[in-house]
Amino acid sequence: MSGSSDRDMNEDVARGSAQVNPPAERGALHTFAVTLVVVLSTLIVIGIGLLIYGFLRHSQPVKPSLAHGASPAATRNLTLPAQTVIKTVRVAQNRLVLALKTKQGQEVDIFSLRDGRLVARIMAPAATP
């Protein structure tokens, strides 16, 4: 069986229909293909590395920054009078809104979250019986 396939190949070569590469051409083509695979593989590895770096860089927590160099409002200490009860605390539009119940009545204090200053105070005196 081996003899007939050799004979068929010899006939194909004689007719010029067989594609047989000389060893020198096969070596050059092989070298080019290996070089191309190595270069493309290197580019893929670099691309994946840059993607991972980008994801890690953007996933780090963002440090809060203060607008226009304002001092942090977190360092502001508020002292409430004795027997004052905080009813509600809300944050709206860079403002801290405290609803308080004091001995004198109801009170709403509005503080700026940018610099901690008191923006407004609304007082409602206690009803007298």
User: How many Å apart are CA 81 and CA 99, to the nearest integer?
Assistant: 14
pLDDT given for residue 51 in this prediction? 93
pLDDT given for residue 65 in this prediction? 54
The DSSP output letter for 69 is G
pLDDT given for residue 73 in this prediction? 47
pLDDT given for residue 55 in this prediction? 86
pLDDT given for residue 44 in this prediction? 97
User: How many Å apart are CA 116 and CA 42, to the nearest integer?
Assistant: 54
Neighbour-count burial for 19-37, b at 16+ CB within 10 Å, e otherwise: eeeeeeeeeeeeeeeeeee
User: How many Å apart are CA 85 and CA 106, to the nearest integer?
Assistant: 10
pLDDT tens, residue order, the chain (129 aa): 555 556 665 665 556 555 555 555 568 888 899 999 999 999 999 999 999 998 888 776 655 555 555 555 456 677 787 888 889 999 888 888 989 988 888 999 988 888 878 888 888 887 776
